Amino acid sequence: MDHKAKHAYGWLVRVPFQGAMHQQFFSDIAHKGKRASLKAAIAWRNRTERKLGKPRTERTVAMLSPRNRSGVVGVRRTAKAMTRDGRKMGPVYEVCWFPKPGIVRRTSISILKYGEREAFRRACALRRKGEKEMYGAQLPAIQPRRRTGRNYGR
């Protein structure tokens, strides 16, 4: 980040995780050069991600959306066609993960076949397996944040 008007030259590091933004600025002058400030910025990023429990990856880590009703990232309850002609619909838990950039994997677990609890348990287990495939480790449990404000829910 080079900002001539403010005489600020260096690296701005941002680590977003679980709805919070952690950031730090590393000045080229304070670290006696661009390479040294870059090394300090990378070291801070790695320490911060380890402390937060965020996996070290260049990929975007999906967070819990306020629209998510299952409470688990990548798992949603929906209805899918049970017959080839699509006339009969059945409830399922759909699991989605991205093993590589640009590749989407999606499967569903029937609620009619396994029951509500067992289908959800299987869907969550499959998502955890997908997270290991995506990030090399399972993500820590994500605590949903409540939105506040006058216009929320209107």
pLDDT higher than threshold 50 for residue 62: yes
pLDDT higher than threshold 90 for residue 16: no
Q: Could you tell me which residue, 1 or 25, shows the higher pLDDT?
A: 25
pLDDT higher than threshold 50 for residue 153: no
Reference 22, options 12, 14, 10, 11; nearest CA is 14
Q: What Å distances lie between residue 91 and 11, 74, 94, CA to CA?
A: 49, 17, 10
Reference 93, options 70, 67, 59, 65; nearest CA is 70
pLDDT higher than threshold 50 for residue 57: yes
Q: Could you tell me which residue, 139 or 105, shows the higher pLDDT?
A: 105
The pLDDT, as a whole number, for residue 147 is 44
Q: Could you tell me which residue, 105 or 86, shows the higher pLDDT?
A: 105
B/e letters for 54-93, b = 16+ CB within 10 Å, e = fewer, are bbeeeeebbebeeebebebbbbbeeeeeeeeeeeeeeebb
The pLDDT, as a whole number, for residue 101 is 75
Q: Is 2 helix (H, G, I), strand (E, B) or coil?
A: strand
Q: Could you tell me which residue, 71 or 43, shows the higher pLDDT?
A: 43
Sheet containing 89-100: order of strands: 75-81, 89-100, 103-110
What average pLDDT does the segment 127-135 reach? 80
What average pLDDT does the segment 18-23 reach? 82
| CB proximity list for 25: less than 8 A, separation 6 or greater | 1, 8, 10, 11, 12, 13
The pLDDT, as a whole number, for residue 154 is 38
The pLDDT, as a whole number, for residue 3 is 62
